[in-house]
Amino acid sequence: MSHLTDPTTAHPQPPFPGTKQPVPGDFYKMDPTPDHGEKTYEGHGRLAGRRALITGGDSGIGRAVAIAFAREGADVAIGYLPEEQENAEDTAKLVEEAGRTVALLPGDISKEEVCQQLVADTVSKLGGIDLLVMVAGIMPTVDSIDDLDTGVLDHVMKTNVYSLFWLTKAASPHLEPGSGIITTGSIQSFQPSPSLAEYATSKAGITNWTRAMAGQLAPRGIRVNGVAPGPFWTPLQPSSVPPEKLESFGEDTPFGRPGQPAELASTYVYLASNESSYTSGETIVVNGGTTGH
């Protein structure tokens, strides 16, 4: 029996129904339902005893990371928007089933005081923090500079970029040598879409922040790396992408489909684990075979 998996047919391919959802979206209402590794991810103890704060850990990429980290032996604090409580509780059950401690921490990371509280609550509930994984973000679609809304721009930057500074500053006193920080950029950092200028600019900032902070924290023995996903099937899509683009989402990749959150989890595990002890300031692109970035 072959143990090989054909990546072009491993998960659903477009066309998709293209059903829109209000922000922030609900993965249970997506068709097809995303695969976060609920039934497939197997841990190997690579994060035993670690304590992680994962923003956006209720759904999408963050949920996949939370599941993987727990099954690798880490305790997990999940940051999420209050309106995502149901999804967060569902993710928490999977962490508990893996035998790990979980803390549910609702709050909007576009506010500095919330970022400070998320870290304080993580330390209080998990007994410390040595992994800061920043996944949460927003992605508005704005087709023309004539439609620029400064309020929207501010919200994108505060959520996607400012929060990195705020969370890291709050976590810094608690991070010991060997701790790790992982950011979530995007292929948009390198290949921006015209209608995603605000989002793409924020993601380019994340890539540069990752490199700068890696250099700043290296003398303390703290590694900082990033992951840059291509098109992934998460609630960010039905809540932010126009229906006509959602129907064909991912078809322009060499694999002809979007990635599933479960296909990213191992990348975060690698960057969090001691297996990547000589890797810092890097961003791993996971983009379905697309090159040129």
Catalytic residues: 199
Instruction: State the Cα–Cα distance between residues 199 and 222, nearest whole angstrom.
Output: 28
Strands 51-55 and 75-80: parallel
Q: Which residues contact 53 (CB under 8 A, 6 or more apart)?
A: 77, 79, 105, 118, 119, 122, 129, 131, 132, 133, 167, 171
Buried b (16+ CB within 10 A) or exposed e, 183-208: bbbbbbbbebeebbbbbbbbbbbbbe
Q: How far apart are CA 199 and CA 247, in angstroms?
A: 21
27 and 34 in contact (C-beta within 8 Å)? yes
Q: What is the DSSP string of 60-71?
A: HHHHHHHHHHHH
